[in-house]
A = this chain, B = another copy of it.
Amino acid sequence: MTPSHAIRHVRITPIAFRDPPLLNAAGIHEPWALRAVIEIETASGLVGINETYGDLPMLQALAKAAPALQGLSPWALNEMESRVAALVTPPVQAPSEFLTQQVSLAPGTHVSKTVAKVVSAFEVAMLDLQGQLAQAPVVDLLGGAARDRVPYSAYLFFKPAEHIDRPYAPDPWGEALTPDQLVAQAQRMIDQYGFQSIKLKAGALPPEQEAAGMLALARAFPGTPLRIDPNANWSVATSLKIVEQLHGLLEYYEDPAPGLDGMAAVARACDVPLATNMVVTDFAEFRRNTELGCPVRIVLSDHHYWGGLRATQRLSTLCRTFDLGLSMHSNSHLGISLTAMTHLCASVPQLTYACDTHYPWQDDEVVSGGRLKLEHGSLRVPTAPGLGVTLDRDALARLHDNYLRCGIRHRDDLGQMRKYDPSFTGIQPRF
């Protein structure tokens, strides 16, 4: 490393993009989803990029940690990690009700994950720089491609036709509240992207209706692997009743009941493997799962909160050691995150399930060349140096303007849901 490749600038740009009114256990998506775009620039003028959470506590943590990168080599990931850890603890405070909701729905927004999240945000951008320096794609820095394309699954949501606040024209997906509408949504998504497995975000409508939707999907797409994710919004009894109705249909059963103890209770009475992105969200929880005899059999990782691409690779070794499966969780995101996931998943041989992605639900993009193209539900692993995607600066400016104008600073599916149903409490399990 010549000194001229030392890191000189870090830029953090919050952005917002349109997000449809997707229903989930915690409420409903707001009209704008937040992300942050990271740019790390070397003295020599190279720029490494990344995409991460864009809520206010995360932006504050990123700002607090950014000075740690000053003067660092893009290779110095261990040093970055220890500097970040020293700077961003203790965690930023946030209102407790907000926290309770977000822990259960999206561990990525929980403050206990702040160090891992900031480390991940910087790590991917530094890997992008490393790849540019080494003239190698990020996947090569991670051990090379075990596959040349990474499969994703069709991620279905129940939803009304449009946002209650009507901030912009309705999305093209239309209403999905009945089994027929759900099948139509799946068909549209599969026609457009070629997905070869289907996941339904559940925990939003009464469980019997959601089960009817799954049965309709099984009839319409025979042989296609199916998954359902009630986001811990079902009691153990409901979880067991519904899995009985879906007998023989599920590839895995994602987070039916709350807590590792709830999951363990379901596991004792159910032969479908349980998956989670809610109760095994860090290495300490991984250990607790093993101590309970591994009621959770498949970990849905997310490099954004597990501490980065290399941390997720290490998680894959823990999973293999304890005979657990591994796949990937997703939040609303754009193409940088999708590309980082693709490099990562290509580098993990035992990642044998199609990964989750919200990508079809977004219609905007921040990378040059616009929306990434999935073929047969898969994204080809880029072979250009680094991540292999660069920023479209006009798009970045536009999405940043969205952020400034939209007024959203925390993800708040619960508050948004109360606009539709003032009596909605978000207390889980609801069913």
Chain A residues near B (Cβ < 8 Å): 1, 73, 75-82, 130, 133-136, 140-141, 143-146, 283-284, 286-287, 290, 310-311, 313-315, 317-318, 320-322, 347, 349
Q: Are B1 and A136 in contact (CB under 8 A)?
A: yes
Chain B contacts for A76, CB-based, 8 A:
140, 144-145
Q: Are A78 and B314 in contact (CB under 8 A)?
A: no
When the two chains form the complex, which single residue of B78, B140, B318 contacts A144, counting CB atoms closer than 8 Å? B78
Chain B contacts for A318, CB-based, 8 A:
317-318, 321
Measured in the bound complex, the distance between the Cα atoms of B290 and A192 in whole Å is 47
Chain B contacts for A313, CB-based, 8 A:
314
Q: Are B82 and A321 in contact (CB under 8 A)?
A: no
Chain B contacts for A143, CB-based, 8 A:
75, 77-78, 310
Q: Are A317 and B314 in contact (CB under 8 A)?
A: yes
Could you pull out 14 A-B pairs where Cβ atoms are within 8 angstroms?
Answer: A73-B140, A75-B140, A78-B143, A78-B144, A78-B347, A82-B349, A134-B134, A143-B310, A283-B321, A314-B314, A314-B317, A317-B318, A318-B318, A318-B321
Measured in the bound complex, the distance between the Cα atoms of B288 and A321 in whole Å is 10
Residue of B nearest to A72 (CB): B144
Measured in the bound complex, the distance between the Cα atoms of B75 and A144 in whole Å is 6
Chain B contacts for A347, CB-based, 8 A:
78
A131: min CB distance to chain B, Å:
9
Measured in the bound complex, the distance between the Cα atoms of B291 and A290 in whole Å is 9
Chain B contacts for A286, CB-based, 8 A:
321
When the two chains form the complex, which single residue of B79, B140, B283, B290 contacts A146, counting CB atoms closer than 8 Å? B79
Kindly list 12 other residue pairs between chains A and B, CB separation below 8 angstroms, not including A78-B347, A313-B314: A1-B135, A73-B144, A76-B140, A77-B144, A78-B349, A82-B146, A82-B349, A133-B134, A283-B321, A286-B321, A317-B318, A318-B318
Do A140 and B1 form a contact, CB below 8 Å, given A146-B79, A317-B314? yes
Residue of B nearest to A80 (CB): B144
Q: Are A78 and B145 in contact (CB under 8 A)?
A: yes
Residue of B nearest to A310 (CB): B143
Chain B contacts for A77, CB-based, 8 A:
143-144
Q: Are B78 and A146 in contact (CB under 8 A)?
A: yes
Chain B contacts for A315, CB-based, 8 A:
317
Residue of B nearest to A290 (CB): B290
Residue of B nearest to A147 (CB): B78
A308: min CB distance to chain B, Å:
10
Residue of B nearest to A311 (CB): B317
A114: min CB distance to chain B, Å:
18
Measured in the bound complex, the distance between the Cα atoms of B317 and A311 in whole Å is 9
Chain B contacts for A321, CB-based, 8 A:
283-284, 286-287, 318
Chain B contacts for A136, CB-based, 8 A:
1, 75, 133-134
Measured in the bound complex, the distance between the Cα atoms of B6 and A144 in whole Å is 14
A342: min CB distance to chain B, Å:
15
Measured in the bound complex, the distance between the Cα atoms of B290 and A311 in whole Å is 21
Measured in the bound complex, the distance between the Cα atoms of B143 and A146 in whole Å is 21
A146: min CB distance to chain B, Å:
4
Measured in the bound complex, the distance between the Cα atoms of B133 and A237 in whole Å is 58
Measured in the bound complex, the distance between the Cα atoms of B143 and A317 in whole Å is 17
A72: min CB distance to chain B, Å:
9
Chain B contacts for A314, CB-based, 8 A:
313-314, 317
Q: Are B145 and A79 in contact (CB under 8 A)?
A: yes
A345: min CB distance to chain B, Å:
12
A350: min CB distance to chain B, Å:
11
Measured in the bound complex, the distance between the Cα atoms of B32 and A60 in whole Å is 61
